[in-house]
Structure 1
Amino acid sequence: MLPSTIELREADQPVVHRLPRAVAVGLASANIATVAPTLGADEYRVSGVRKVGVVRIAGHTVWLKPKTPVRRLFAMLGYARAGSAIWTEDDFGFEEDEDLVPALAHAFVRQASRALAGGPLRGYVRREDALPLVRGRWRIGDQLTRRGGQPLPVEVSFDDYVEDIAENQVLLSAATRLLRLPGVPADVLGALRRIVRVLDGVSVISVGAPEPVVRPDRRNARYSSALALASLVLSGSSVEQRAGAVVASGFLVDMWSVFEDFVSAALREAFKPYGGVLVSQYQSTLDVEGTVKIAPDLVWLVDGEVRACIDVKYKVEKHGQYPNADLYQMAAYCRRLGLGDGHLVYAAGESEARQIEVIDGPLINQHALDLSRSMAAVAQQLSSFVRQGLRSESV
């Protein structure tokens, strides 16, 4: 009998698993992994797993486990979202070996409970209504068009001091989504229900609707960590993919996106002392006619001149080496941009950082970041790479 709970680990290399056919179809159709049948009954070769979290497919719960320790993953997520270390690795209160969704649920409950300890925030919300008396501003135009000149009810607009504001809507919506996710620990469910009760009367954000913008200020400062976690819940819990009768739903995070966002944010901090500007997805063309588009992940511009080119790659190297295609791509970027050096930044695996000197071409530096270290140490590694490598090119 095939298991109802299935574990897959983040990896590029193919691994054979016994899976129900519906799960195999769901993984492929939701673009969670590459799945190919083998000659064995109910056996599939699974590769390219770069999403982590938990997903429910056709009644089966599939855990997608990250290679990176969960503490490090959360720290990367926080750094990528804020451009600095908004969470330390001691902010969450969970163990190193926990899975992503239980860890996220524990962290959210902990921070949301702290945020709401003094009661929900209140704020002024602009409302329009028809009332039996004048309150706020009388909307004369609407009174004439909607009421045909009748004096009552009165069409008015006014500011109401309520709890149904964006901050509370985000927290409530995240708590509601977590209650529906597979893999949320039983000891967290009660705390999530308490949060929902505290925010009774607040509107829930519909699935698929944009998350309201919350601008940080002194008034909502106590909500800051809880809102960051809530935003993470809302961004990852909108997974739903239908393939015939197969429905996949759950919470998933793209590891390549987390890594690239973290590296980009950390590099922006590292470049600040040297002036210029770090531009993402710098648009240019490779050919004379301008039909072949190129867009390096990051370029450093000083007085409008490209001084450095960086591509960020979250890949598992094959046979101890990083993909040659990355070298070809960077060599083309450097040739087009007139640079003598290019930089590739990887999540470290078996290969070490090295330099590739291209014949009649640029020197390509491959940097390997060790994600088993603290995020502060990884950010320092990136600062050192900027200081030792790129600074020398600008002087």
Structure 2
Amino acid sequence: MPREVAAGLVAARIADVSPTFVADEYRVSGVRKVGVARIAGHDVWIQPKTPVRRLFAMLGYARSGSAIWEDEDFGFAADEDLVPALAHAFERQASRALAGGALRGYVTRDNALPLVRGRWRIGDQLTRRGGQPLPVEVSFDDYVEDIAENQLVLTAAIRLLRLPGVPADVVGRLRRVVRVLDGVTIIPVGAPVAIVRPDRRNARYSAVLSLASLVLSGASIEQRAGSLVGAGFLVDMWSVFEDFVTAALREAFRPYGGELVAQYASTLDVEGTVKIAPDLVWLVDGEVRACIDVKYKVEKYGQYPNADLYQMAAYCRRFGLTDGLLVYAAGASAVEGLQLVHGPMIRQRALNLGRTEIELAGELSSLLSEYLRL
């Protein structure tokens, strides 16, 4: 591949790239993202090993705690590539949400008008107008389409139209979505994205809003990677896996009480200079009772990765635990244990990502019951 593409992969922190002895030939390793990005004028596709349908189902479960994207209605199974699948699903849900017209809502506006409307802002009238009676500084509620829900949908549709690999038939339907939302404000690249709370008023937007949020989070590559990298949609696979496991275990821990905390901040030394943050800890009355680390890598049967063992041993020693648990994305299915000399028992378990998310959640629940009995 061209040198500029190799540099872009490194600049965007997509993968590690090292040159070989052959011109324009590179060794790519440590791939952290999947999706597509336009780098130095080239479209670079990074295929997930996990089927696209499974990937979106994991994303949906992690965001809601249920298999909201397993439904055939989303159509993820129709495409094998990430971007076409997402574009199809988003366009379908956007068209359904907008079938009865764009949602409207009340937006509070501050304005200067030639008459009193809504609430008169007396303080602003005195400071800005110097006692002049007109125009009048007022605040009022306007019933408009330019609300957060429509802004999210419109911005996501425009970002998808910029991506390489969006099917031609979907492009036409996405443009219709943009036309329906004409007059709605587009969220600028890099600007904070509003968090929309689901309620009865926006219930018909629930599916498309979750997809819009995914589009905007995955498209953020374009503002971070400098001039070499253009539009793209990239997903961190380790984050998808970790978020899914966290959501499933949080549900599994519920009957046991306590609280499952992600990225629990602590220190390893007395002075507090060595920071640690285990992926998951189970707190009961403020005390750490269990520690779990999630690894998006393959656990090879009988071969324990030293760095993972060192890390978990340090966590267990810090919290006074007699055992810890490592959860891998693939490998041997049985719970394996390694008793450290004068240290804790470190157990590991690999998940079968070929299963559905409900089956995986059940597997994690069984794993937890087995782990807590040991």
**Smaller-chain TM-score bracket:** over 0.9
1:79 matches 2:61: yes
Change (3 A) 1:167 1:58: same
Instruction: Give the superposed CA RMSD.
Output: 1.9
Aligned partner of 1:129 in structure 2 is 111
- CA offset at residue 89 of structure 1? 4.7
**In structure 1, C-alpha distance between the alignment counterparts of 2:87 and 2:241, rounded to whole Å:** 22
Aligned partner of 2:362 in structure 1 is 380
- CA offset at residue 194 of structure 1? 0.7
1:187 matches 2:169: yes
Percent identity over paired residues: 77
Aligned partner of 1:15 in structure 2 is none
Change (3 A) 1:243 1:149: closer
Aligned partner of 1:21 in structure 2 is 3
For 1:144, the aligned partner's letter is L
Stretches of structure 2 that go unaligned for 5 or more consecutive residues are none
**In structure 2, C-alpha distance between the alignment counterparts of 1:320 and 1:363, rounded to whole Å:** 15
Aligned partner of 1:359 in structure 2 is 341
Aligned partner of 2:196 in structure 1 is 214
Counterpart contact for 2:37–2:229, Cα < 8 Å: no
1:2-40 superposed Cα distances (whole Å, 9 cap, x missing partner): xxxxxxxxxxxxxxxxx0111111111111111111111
- CA offset at residue 353 of structure 1? 4.2
Corresponding residue SS for 1:269: helix
Counterpart contact for 2:4–2:40, Cα < 8 Å: yes
Counterpart contact for 1:242–1:248, Cα < 8 Å: no
Stretches of structure 1 that go unaligned for 5 or more consecutive residues are 1-18
**In structure 2, C-alpha distance between the alignment counterparts of 1:322 and 1:190, rounded to whole Å:** 51
Change (3 A) 1:290 1:153: closer
1:284 matches 2:266: yes
Aligned partner of 2:133 in structure 1 is 151
For 1:59, the aligned partner's letter is G
Count of residues in Structure 1 that have an aligned counterpart in Structure 2: 374
Corresponding residue SS for 1:237: helix
131-140 or 273-282: which moved more? 131-140
Q: Tell me which stretches of 4 or more aligned residues in structure 1 moved more than 6 Å.
A: 241-244
The correspondence of residues 219-298 of structure 1 with structure 2, limited to 5 A, is: 219-240=201-222, 246-298=228-280
Change (3 A) 1:276 1:36: same
1:311 matches 2:299: no
- CA offset at residue 150 of structure 1? 3.1
Change (3 A) 1:322 1:115: farther
Q: Which has the higher helix share?
A: 2
1:146-184 superposed Cα distances (whole Å, 9 cap, x missing partner): 333333322211111111111111111100111111111
Change (3 A) 1:91 1:362: farther
TM-score (norm 1): 0.90
Corresponding residue SS for 1:230: helix
**In structure 2, C-alpha distance between the alignment counterparts of 1:253 and 1:171, rounded to whole Å:** 19
Counterpart contact for 1:58–1:246, Cα < 8 Å: yes
Aligned partner of 2:122 in structure 1 is 140
Corresponding residue SS for 2:22: coil
**In structure 2, C-alpha distance between the alignment counterparts of 1:286 and 1:205, rounded to whole Å:** 42
175-184 or 140-149: which moved more? 140-149
